[in-house]
Copies of this chain bind each other. A is one copy, B any other.
Amino acid sequence: MPKWVYGFGAGGAEGSADKRNLLGGKGANLAEMSNLGLPVPPGFTITTEVCTHYYGNGEAYPGGLQDEVNVALRSLESELGATFGDAGNPLLVSVRSGARVSMPGMMDTVLNLGLNDETVRGLSAQSNDERFAYDSYRRFIQMYGDVVMGIDHYSFEDALARQKEDAGVELDTELSAEDWKAVVAAYKDIVQAELGKPFPQDPQEQLWGAVGAVFSSWMNQRAITYRRLHGISGDWGTAVNVQAMVFGNMGDDCATGVGFTRDPSTGENIFYGEYLANAQGEDVVAGIRTPQPLSRNGQQDASGLPSMEELLPDMYAQLADIRDVLEAHYKDMQDIEFTVQKGKLFMLQTRSGKRTAPASVRIAVEMADQGLITEDEAVLRVDAAQLDQLLHPTLDPDAEKVLFARGLPASPGAAHGRVVLTADKAEQWADEGQRVILVRTETSPEDIHGMHAAAGILTSRGGMTSHAAVVARGMGRPCVVGAADLSIDMERSVVLAGGQELREGDLVTVDGGSGEVIIGEVPTREPELSEHFDRLMGWADRIRRMGVRANAETPADVKTALSFGAEGIGLCRTEHMFFEPGRIVDVRRMILAEDADGRRAALNELLPHQRSDFLAIFRLMGGRPVTIRLLDPPLHEFLPHGAEEIADVAKAAGLTPEAVRQRALRLSESNPMLGHRGCRLGITAPEIYEMQARAIFEAALEASEGGGAPVTPEVMVPLVMTRVELDLIKARIDKVAEDVAAEKGRSVDYLVGTMIELPRAALCADEIAESAAFFSFGTNDLTQTTFGISRDDAGGFIGEYERAGILAVDPFVSLDTSGVGALINIAVGKGRAARPDIKLGICGEHGGEPNSVAFFENAGLGYVSCSPYRVPIARLAAAQAVLRR
């Protein structure tokens, strides 16, 4: 017979932190804090197994649950000397959800449960504050009505507004006890009117209603969306925490607050947080009142208000001690909630705190320095994907900026995009390939999908711990909150600030590092990386087995890649070079040529350009490996399209515009992805690859002249599907190498290898390996062909696929290990069997995505190659993959 209910309290607990799966994160940590002797209001946790049982059995509770809850309630009553439903000395409780993994804002909470027309009088007598008691009661009805009974919260807000109007006041705090009584009466009328039955007066009925609402909310749409986005299983279930109420709103010796044991934005080892005097917990995160800082230190703060350290020094000191206890115990930065009730401190929650990437790095490194964790643990602490935040360019400080508004810098990084005013539109425009900035008064869990789709988030209300700020940091989206002079006119679909106006669809830039909101798109510049970052990367480099290279083809990209620690170039795409002005005309002449001689003449013009491109790269790379992919895209991609371009090309090629148009038409394809491209060009027009090979070899020899490091270029043949293709092309490359060696009197060292980017190449890798010195997995094309999905055309269905949960993870973002991964494993096995020393790498988009990097580590690849900005992510992920094996 399982145990369904676990008690906790100041004297200790039945559970502990290691029972997280059973008790949920919140419940396990409440138990753990109880065991640490911290002041936790007593309560009990209904386990996640009850939730699983509930959904596995037609939404019925297990037998025995009711009895266990009653026993736990009795124990609570005796501990507190109060009785549930007692008119004189009522026990009031909060009911909160708590899943295994923190799902902020996704689940529902009910406070002040146990209040009714009788017990409110008891609370009034006990607190000696009738105003407080009826305010609590109306809060309870409002919350319970909304969350448990499904009544639109606007109904309650309207009634409150009417009462304020009647009373002739503007602020809630100006309402009297009698006003609150009237509000309570109005709220009860709303419930009666909406549901045809009165607000429940029986505390037991209230309790089970709230418990049922928590379980129901586990399967509501926004919870399902959150789980899908975060890879959380629906089978885990949520626990329910029932806890004695403590009140931060019983007067000026009361307060409630949230805090982080270190600065979640910078990672600095300061006590960081916010509190509100005379308030209940929900008031802080709701972003309605602007909270005050916890401590006096350098916390970035827009309020200018005095801190808790100054105003409530005793309470602050106690809290600071608890902070030390928690960090020493959990060995990680904690996110805490507390309440001060009439001078007594209560801890309501602790959990591992969300943090920005810079904070994550700094906290990990400094905790290792403090001896709290090891270097290996520090490397594992930082979410590699989150590093992306550090590595993206920031706004160019010298750029001219037209400021639109200013808010709190809630999540770092700069982003530009088109203004959108609803989450649905954000998703829709993003599906259509637009970059969007979601602009809202404040965000709520209903906006999660739009926040995910947006490149950046901007709100006019809320603080650093508001919903928008917390969620944006978790998602790594640049975010500015509380831009107070900004207002949104939904009717006209415009955003107004300081007399300026942005329409939906206009470009805007948000700088989550400074809090600035700027009109239009602002140029950016390279990020500067901290000393903490460098040290963490050093530890990662010591640990990792795989090499990390970059995909780069311009000197600028190559420099960026080197600055981020790239050890080579894994993919130098030669076609990018073809598009440059001054070359494209010769490229087009080459394509329009009727025969090999004509092509060769045009290619001779291109040769010096390609040679100098490669020379520049070889010199920058100073002998590090460089893998150059021969021409890949279909030729018609290079052809002119508009009438003017066609006329220009016709003139240069000595043809009529009509002839050029005809040639372009002949080259056009039904499915260019699967058409005449890659090494198929090398087979049908050998002159192209011969020119490219010559450019590579001549550049390699020139680079090593005069003391330059010797270069061993890796010549990569794309889109190979059979060994014969590679054999034919390799023979021609070898011939070019011989010719160049004969002309220059020096031989070239080089390797010829191939992309594995077609399923057949993977399946026949043993044959191909006999001719290939290396394989580089082109996971973009391999994903397209394995799934039969063209990325260009996925827009028509991919949105629906994600909504329906068909593709839990986008296979173009994170490697599909069951399908594409299976092909990679086959190719690695067969390739090694045929050529034990074959070099194996990957150069698709997945090379910089941590889960994919872990797969490549386990598959035994030699290196990953990714975009320059993702090199540090790959370095860290590669180290983590080693530690996690």
A161 contacts B by Cβ under 8 Å: no
Q: Which of B672, B675, B760 contacts A819 (CB 8 A)?
A: B760
Asked if residues A788 and B721 are in contact (CB atoms below 8 Å), the reply is yes
A722 contacts B by Cβ under 8 Å: yes
CA distance A728 to B788 in the complex (A): 19
Asked if residues B781 and A788 are in contact (CB atoms below 8 Å), the reply is yes
Asked if residues B823 and A669 are in contact (CB atoms below 8 Å), the reply is no
Task: Closest B residue to A821 by CB, please name it.
Answer: B763
Q: Which of B672, B724, B800 contacts A671 (CB 8 A)?
A: B672
A321 contacts B by Cβ under 8 Å: no
A719 contacts B by Cβ under 8 Å: yes
Asked if residues B806 and A674 are in contact (CB atoms below 8 Å), the reply is no
CA distance A130 to B760 in the complex (A): 67
Task: Count how many chain A residues have C-beta atoms less than 8 Å from C-beta atoms of the other chain.
Answer: 50
A785 contacts B by Cβ under 8 Å: yes
Asked if residues A818 and B764 are in contact (CB atoms below 8 Å), the reply is yes
Q: Which of B683, B758, B794, B818 contacts A787 (CB 8 A)?
A: B758
Q: Which of B719, B722, B786 contacts A758 (CB 8 A)?
A: B786
User: Which chain A residues in 37-86 approach chain B with CB under 8 Å?
Assistant: none
Task: Closest B residue to A667 by CB, please name it.
Answer: B796
User: Which chain A residues in 716-756 approach chain B with CB under 8 Å?
Assistant: 719, 721-722, 724-725, 728
Q: Which of B672, B801, B819, B822 contacts A683 (CB 8 A)?
A: B801
Q: Which of B674, B757, B786 contacts A789 (CB 8 A)?
A: B674
Chain B residues within 8 Å of A671, by CB = 670-674, 790, 792-793
A684 contacts B by Cβ under 8 Å: yes
A20 contacts B by Cβ under 8 Å: no
Asked if residues A792 and B676 are in contact (CB atoms below 8 Å), the reply is no
Q: How far is the CB of A625 from chain B (nearest CB, A)?
A: 27
Chain B residues within 8 Å of A793, by CB = 669-672, 674-676
Asked if residues B806 and A786 are in contact (CB atoms below 8 Å), the reply is no
Asked if residues B728 and A804 are in contact (CB atoms below 8 Å), the reply is yes
A820 contacts B by Cβ under 8 Å: yes
Asked if residues B792 and A670 are in contact (CB atoms below 8 Å), the reply is yes
Q: How far is the CB of A777 from chain B (nearest CB, A)?
A: 14
A145 contacts B by Cβ under 8 Å: no
A759 contacts B by Cβ under 8 Å: yes
User: Which chain A residues in 806-862 approach chain B with CB under 8 Å?
Assistant: 806-807, 816, 818-820, 822-823
Chain B residues within 8 Å of A722, by CB = 806-807
Chain B residues within 8 Å of A816, by CB = 760
Q: Which of B790, B805, B819 contacts A674 (CB 8 A)?
A: B790
Task: Closest B residue to A673 by CB, please name it.
Answer: B671
A797 contacts B by Cβ under 8 Å: yes
CA distance A741 to B631 in the complex (A): 59
Chain B residues within 8 Å of A684, by CB = 796-797, 800
Chain B residues within 8 Å of A784, by CB = 674
CA distance A719 to B763 in the complex (A): 21
Task: Closest B residue to A680 by CB, please name it.
Answer: B797
Asked if residues A763 and B674 are in contact (CB atoms below 8 Å), the reply is no
Chain B residues within 8 Å of A805, by CB = 724
Chain B residues within 8 Å of A758, by CB = 786-788
Asked if residues A796 and B674 are in contact (CB atoms below 8 Å), the reply is no
Asked if residues A785 and B797 are in contact (CB atoms below 8 Å), the reply is no
A674 touching B674 in the complex, CB below 8 Å, given contacts A725-B806, A759-B819, A806-B728: yes
Closest CB pairs A-B (n = 7): A760-B819, A675-B793, A674-B790, A671-B790, A676-B796, A670-B792, A759-B759
Known pairs A683-B797, A721-B787, A764-B822. 18 more at Cβ < 8 A?
Answer: A669-B792, A674-B788, A675-B793, A676-B796, A676-B797, A721-B819, A722-B807, A724-B804, A725-B806, A758-B788, A759-B759, A760-B788, A760-B816, A760-B818, A763-B786, A763-B823, A764-B819, A781-B788
A-B contact pairs, 24 of them (CB 8 A): A667-B796, A670-B793, A671-B672, A673-B673, A673-B788, A674-B790, A675-B793, A680-B797, A680-B801, A684-B800, A722-B806, A722-B807, A724-B806, A757-B788, A759-B759, A759-B819, A760-B786, A760-B818, A763-B786, A763-B818, A763-B819, A763-B823, A764-B822, A767-B818
